[in-house]
Amino acid sequence: MKKQNVFAGYLIIGMGIYFLLRQLNIPYFAYFYSWPTILIIIGAAFLLHSFISKDYSNVIPGTIIFGLGVHFHGKDHYPFWIDHWAIYPLIVGLAFLLKYTKTKSGLLPTILLLGLAGFGLFSTSNPGWFSFLYTIINWIEQFWPAVLIVLGIYLLKKR
Query: From CA 36, how far away is CA 70, in angstroms rounded?
Result: 7
Q: Given a cut of 90, is residue 128 above it in pLDDT?
A: no
pLDDT in tens, 24-60: 888 888 778 888 899 999 999 999 989 988 888 889 9
Query: From CA 97, how far away is CA 68, in angstroms rounded?
Result: 16
User: pLDDT-based confidence at 92, cuts 50/70/90?
Assistant: very high
Q: Given a cut of 60, is residue 1 above it in pLDDT?
A: no
What predicted TM-score, i.e. pTM, was given to this entire model? 0.74
6: enclosing H helix or E strand: helix 3-24
Work out the mean pLDDT of the chain and round it to a whole number. Answer: 85
Question: No. of H helices and E strands in the chain?
Answer: 6, 0
Q: Given a cut of 80, is residue 125 above it in pLDDT?
A: no
Give the whole-number percent of the chain exceeding pLDDT 90: 31
